[in-house]
Structure 1
C-alpha cells in the first residue's frame, strides 16, 4: 500500500462520496455512554444515502445492549448493525476448539454469552471440572488479580489464549483510562509471550466481515484511535476519517507514522457530513509551503511556522491543523526530527493555543 504523505480532500460531503460507514463507538458516537454532540445527526444524514455499521473493540456490552444504548441516545440502531470484539473472538474460537469445549471467561456476561452462542461452555474458574481448553479475556471493571492469575495458570497448562483487544486505554471525559490492553499486558509480562488470538482492531477481521456482509461498495471507517481504527482500515484498504472527539489529539496526529495515517481529519463525527478542503504544497524558490483554507505553513531547518492569511476574521483551526499535519508528515518522512512549531502572527498563536500545540 502506498504510504500517506498527505490528506485526501473531497469537494462534496463524505456522506455523498461513500455508501458504507464503519463507525467506532467509544470516542466517536459516544463517550463513556454519553452521546457526543452532533453524532446522532451525522448518523441520520449518512443513512439517507448509505448504510451504517457500528464496530467496537469494547467487549463489555452485547450487540443488543449497544443497540439499545444507541437508540436511547437518539441514534437509531438494531443489533444486526453492531459488531463487537466479543462476537469476533467467539467466532474465532469456534473454528479452533471443538464444540462443547470449556472456555475460561475473564470479562463481562456479554463475552460469556457470545462464547455460549457458538456452542462452547463458558466457565469462571479453573477450579473443579476439566481444565479449560481456551481463555477468553476482555475488559470488565470487576477484573481482579485472581482473574488474571487464572489466565496465567490456564495458559501455562496449555489453554488457547484469546483476547478481545489490546487497546491500552479507553476514552473518558476526564482523559484516557486503562483499557483491556493494560490487563493483557500484565499477563504478557508474566507469561513472556503474546496472546494466540486478538479479535479486535487493528486486526482486520471485524472490518472485513462487516464489509463482506454489507451492500455498500464504497466504505469509509471512522475512529478516534490511529493504532486500532485507522490501522484496521488500512489493513483492509479502506479510506478512514480520524476524529478528535476521543483519544486522538492534534499533537498525536502530527506524529503519526506512515502506516497509521488517516485519509481525513475531523473534530467529530459531524465531519462525515462535510466537505474536506485540500492541502496544497508549493516548493518554489527552495521554500516548502503548505496551504489549507486561510492558513499557511512554511518549513525551515528549525521547524514549521504557521501563519494566518487574509480573508477570514475567524479561520477554521481544523484547516490550520490539516496544513500542519501534512507539513509535519512530509518533513518527518524526509528525516527531520519532530519539528518545532512557531506562530507567525497573532492569529496563528491563537490557533496553536486552541489546538493544544506549543507555539512561540
Structure 2
C-alpha cells in the first residue's frame, strides 16, 4: 500500500481518505514515506481526544531520533521547539507566553484587529470583484497581528510569511529545511537588535526573562520566538480561507449569518469542525506499548493524530460532512486537546470572527469567482489551506 497521505487527491480533498481509513479502524498502521517506514494514524474522534491527552505519546522528537542518522537539515529552533517537548519543560515554556494569548488578551486586541480588517477591506473593489481572499485578507491579517504582537518590523513581514509557507512544503524537504534556517537566522538577528534597542513587543518580554532571571536558554528563546511567529498566523490564515470557502459554497448558511451576524461567534466552532485548518497534528511517538481504539501500538513508533478526520467522525457528529451552523460543535479538535492545545486559539478565533463578520456585512453579495475544481490547495498534510480563493464581491 502506498502512502495515502501523499496522494495528490488527498491535498485537494482529504475527507474521502480519512473516511476510508476511519471506516477500516479508528487507529491503524499506515505507510509513511519510503523504505518501509510506517506510522499509526488516529482518525476517530474519541481516540484522537484520548491520544492528545495520553502521556505515553511523547512530543520529545529529539529523544526519539537520538542516535538515528538523518537526511534532513532542519534548524533546531524549528525541530526542537516547545511543540517537541514534554512536561515539565513544556509547562515552563508555555507558561512564559500563555498570558499574551488568553481570551482577555485577545479581547483587548479586538479594536486593533477590527481597524486592520477595515483598512484591508477598504482597498477591495466596489464593482463586484474579483479579489483573492487568501492573498488580500487571510494572509495579511494574522501575519500583521502576530508580527505587531511580537515586535517584528513591518519591512520584514513579507519575508517572514514566505519562509513560514516554505516550512510546510510537503514532499520538498530541502525547501522546508532551508526555510527553517532562514527564519531561525532572522529571529536570532532580531533578538540581537532588540537587545540593543528594546521595544514593547512579546519578544522583548521574552528577552527580559532570558537576560533577567535566566528562565530561558538562548536556544529556547530563539525557538520560542520562531514558534510564536509561525504558529501565530499559519493556522489562522488557513482557517479564514477555509471558513470563507465553506460559507460561499453554502449560500443558505451564508444568508443565515448575513441576516443574524450575532450567530457568527457560535458558528466559528462549526466552521472549525467542518474544515479544520490543521489536518494532521505534529509528530508524536509511543514511549511504551499501548492499546488505542482496539489497535495495539508497539513502543517507539510514530503516532499521527488527525483532527481533520476526527472532526468528521460520524460516531461523534451526525451527518459530519454537512455544514450545520445550528450544530453544537464545541467538541471539535481543530485546536487539539490537553496540555498541547493551541495556546493561540483565543486570538485565532477573534481574528477569524472579526474578518468573517466584516466580509459578510460589507460584501453581502460575495460569491465564488471560479468553480470548486479550479481551487488550489497547499500541498502539506499538516496544514489544510487554500493557496488562493478568488471571490466576486
* TMscore range, shorter length: under 0.3
Bigger strand fraction: 1
TM superposition score normalised by structure 2: 0.24
TM superposition score normalised by structure 1: 0.25
Answer with 1 or 2: which has the greater Rg. Answer: 1
Higher relative contact order, structure no. (Cα contacts within 8 Å, ≥ 6 residues apart): 2
